[in-house]
Amino acid sequence: MKTLFLTNEYPPTIYGGAGVHVDYLSRELAKLMDVEVRCYGQEHREARVTAPMLHATGFGLDSSAYTAPKNLHSVFGAIQRGLDWNTTAIDADIVHLHTWYTHLGGILAKLNYGIPMVITVHSLEPLRPWKREQLGGGYDFSCWVEKTAIEMADAVIAVSAETRADILRLFHVPADRVPVIYNGIDLDEYRPVTTTTALEKYGIDPRRPYVLFVGRITRQKGIIHLVNAIWHLDPGFQIVLCAGAPDTPEIAAEMQAAVAAAQAVRPGILWIEQMVTNPEKIELYSHASVFVCPSIYEPFGIINLEAMACETAVVASAVGGIKEVVVPGETGWLVPLEQMSASPFEALHPEQFARDLAARINSLMADPARCAEFGQAGRRRAEEKFSWSAIAWQVRDLYSTLVEKRTQVF
């Protein structure tokens, strides 16, 4: 049996949880079956080969002749790559899609090559209305192609029970087509380390405790709420914001202004304005007293799992799949996010949310023993529930069922 992954992100270009998922799942699946990855890339080339049964090819794009508005280039680029992926012959038994950027390509593969189509839902477009800031009218296309693909998929993998509920609420999909298969963690790679090279590189004082954020600068990740919470944090510890890849120039400017204002009144705020390497990220997790995830929408929240595997206590918003990863009072604390009915993924009281985040952070930073206790429990939970090898077997079993059904039909 052979699977074809279609994906935007793939090493060395990963900027979000979907890319992390594809990287690790493809490697684990390649221990069980043939895996081909077709991904975005600067040129048509072998992007990465890590195992005899794993082959990846990057598909480039020349958009130099585009005269469409700039914010539509990524939309038309996704359409073009969907075509390119299919005009290159497909010999897989199944096609597996990751993010809306791949959905048109998957639809073409299912219809033209007659193979089952699987989608892993890493996020849902109707629940990310702020994407219109980035895509303009392209957001209407991304919503349409996602809906079309999900409703014709042979299986739609939800990365959490709450994501499954969202899928069933928002789309016309039979419940038996929507299994829950969690994201995972490489427990050999993500573990506590004692080195301080990255801390020294980025100007973090290893002798002083710090709070850590890792993520993209997007509305979804709630980074602005955390920056606003800084005004209510106790003195005496550092705040490290490892935040890059802003969605739009507008949110980049908003972030710049908010951080500058906070830095003007509170020392010890360090902003790493780039996506760091995995070893650097693991080092940052390992030495942090508390990791903070203030997301306002998060189907799973793999960054919390990464922090837990590195034995770091977590303070996170009580939304989406985060509630299935972080156990309040055991591996960290969850902060409720009141929501508006008119705009369900904005805080009803952003100032209150910022204060509540700060209160939970302050309580842990004042109690190093509790931080250590939460961190150790987080590592145990990661080991017991979220290994990639077990997740790969669940995906393979799903594939086998779908391929067998197709064989019986024909």
What pLDDT is attached to residue 390? 87
pLDDT tens-digit series, residues 92-145? 999 999 999 999 999 999 999 999 999 999 999 998 888 888 888 999 999 999
What pLDDT is attached to residue 344? 46
Residue with tokens 């073409």: 108
- With 0.85 as the threshold, say if the pTM is over it: no
CATH number of 197-385: 3.40.50.2000
- Rounded average pLDDT over 146-172: 96
Instruction: Give me the DSSP letters along 191-232.
Output: S-----HHHHHTT--TTS-EEEEEEESSTTTTHHHHHHHGGG
- Rounded average pLDDT over 74-91: 96
Question: What mean pLDDT, rounded, does the chain reach?
Answer: 92
For the chain, which residues make up each domain, given as ranges?
2-184+387-409, 197-385
- Rounded average pLDDT over 167-183: 96
What pLDDT is attached to residue 47? 45
Write the CA distances from 283 to 40, 162, 212, 341, integer angstroms. 29, 31, 11, 40
DSSP assignment letter at 46 = E
Angstrom distance (rounded) from CA 128 to CA 220: 7
CATH match of 2-184+387-409 with 3.60.150.10? no
Confidence class of residue 169 from pLDDT cuts 50, 70 and 90? very high
- Rounded average pLDDT over 186-204: 96
Confidence class of residue 350 from pLDDT cuts 50, 70 and 90? confident
For residue 8, how many other CB atoms are within 10 A of its CB? Answer: 22
List the one residue out of 270, 143, 150 whose CA is nearest residue 210: 270
